[in-house]
Amino acid sequence: MSAAGPFEVPPDTLYGVHNLPYGVFSTSGDPRRRIGIRYGDHVLDAAAAARATGAPADLAELLAAPSLNPLLAAGRPVWTRVRTAVTEWLTRERHRPAVAPCLVPYRDTAAHLPFEVADYVDFYASEHHAANLGRIFRPGGEALPPNWKHLPIGYHGRAGTVVVSGTGVVRPCGQRREPGEQLPSYGPSVRLDIEAEVGFVVGPPSARGDRVALADADEHVFGVCLVNDWSARDLQAWEYVPLGPFLGKSFATSVSPWIVPLDALAHARVAPPARDTEPLPYLDDRRAAVPSGLDLALEVRLNGRLIARPPFAAMYWTYAQMLAHLTVNGAGLRTGDLFASGTVSGPGPDTRGALIELTWNGERPLELPDGTSRGFLQDGDEVVISATAPGPGGARIGLGEVAGRIEPAR
Ligand code: MN
């Protein structure tokens, strides 16, 4: 460690002063859950730093909570004040003696679910993913359903089974109907899959009856996490007509523990791909002051092997459009709402964010370095999804990772 100690981070760090993602952590020596900010190889104990630097009482109180919810609810002007204050704590010489004891080595921390998930919605916003599933399940038909390019398709998921990265995922049991059979059977899923997705965390609520316009999305969206929407394809295939996903997805949804604020993603904003269908006015973002596409580079690893690099920039629908559509009927937002993008898949065969696409419904198994192959997940398999984004001056910022290991059915 240099003389400057924990304040010096390598220039190529994914967790420098331009990132500053928020989470909730504890240590074995101090099991209290508290807000942390990931910085280099350390986690800043936010409440301790606020006390040590004499921060304004309202900020200190928000940062002393055991979850991010009060900070989420406080809204964008407060988020900006907190980010400015944290940046000063980490960069101003005069704060260093007070702040240094508040930096905990990252390796000594355990991460927890960083916010209380209110409602959970999952979209289906990748044209490549939707078209691939259409080709697999409706061969010979139209790849996309007729509504797909007119609205971001989604479903309401189960908030209570959203778990933090590292939580084991028990193989679900349920009904499926084997090919060629008339009647369903019951048992552990034999087609357990992943969906590599990006999640958006909602801060201030909206009133029931109101809509959130495209231009107001950033007043409600605090930041971004990574999501693995574990999916039992056999359960899903038997149950999803006519009301959509249910038990095939509700057993577990994993999220990354470090929420990257939208403010950290200013250099990642890109125009969404060219679209060939005119959207209705409430979804028309062609004159947006700032684009809501995000150039996030995802990586998916199965038992350590890199199996896909899904590009979030290729998504057809943006988070602002998802939020506008989610609320266009007057559904109110709640603090802690989580909405996810749906599987991130790009145009290339190695950019697909689900095994069902990577193995074409199990027909082309992936070969793993240990000599085994996978159509779908086996017990003991570990999946890790990570991502980075462009930062200022050619730097990159990290979104951390969401990891999960499959445990045997019970
Ligand atoms: Mn999904």
pLDDT in tens, 347-358: 999 999 999 999
Q: What distance in angstroms lies between residue 98's CA and the mean position of ligand 1's atoms?
A: 44
Q: What are the residue ranges in the chain where pLDDT is below 70?
A: 1-4
Contact assessment for residue 301 and residue 308, using Cβ atoms and an 8 Å cutoff: no
What does the pLDDT read at residue 6? Answer: 85
| Structure-derived torsion over alpha carbons of residues 92, 110, 197, 410, reported in degrees to the nearest 10 | -170
> CB neighbours (10 Å) of residue 305?
13
C-alpha 317 – ligand 1 centre gap (Å): 14
70 strand-pairing partners? none
Residue 245 CA to ligand 1 center (angstroms) comes to 9
In the prediction, which pLDDT does 221 show? 98
Structure confidence at residue 3 (pLDDT): 44
Centroid of ligand 1 to alpha carbon of 357 (angstroms): 13
Alpha-carbon span 185 to 286, nearest angstrom: 49
Phi, psi of 373, deg, nearest 5? -135, 160
369 in Cβ contact with 304 (< 8 Å): yes
Confidence (pLDDT) at 26: 98
Fold of 120-407: Fumarylacetoacetate hydrolase; domain 2 (3.90.850)
Handedness of CA 169, 172, 177, 180 (dihedral sign): positive
**Count of CB atoms situated within 10 Å of the CB of 203:** 26
Q: What is the DSSP string of 333-386?
A: P-TT-EEE------SSGGG-SSHHHHTTTTTSPEE-TTS-EESS--TT-EEEEE
Per-residue confidence (pLDDT) for residue 4, from 0 to 100 = 56
Which residues have their alpha-adjacent CB atom under 5 A from ion ligand 1? 122, 195, 229
The domain at 22-111 falls in which architecture? Roll (2.30)
Which residues does the annotation mark as catalytic?
129
Q: In angstroms, what is the span from residue 231 Cα to ligand 1's centroid?
A: 8
Separation of CA 163 and ligand 1 centre (Å): 15
pTM of the model as a whole: 0.97
> What are residue 228's DSSP bridge partners?
196, 254
What residue ranges do the domains of the chain occupy?
A: 22-111, 120-407
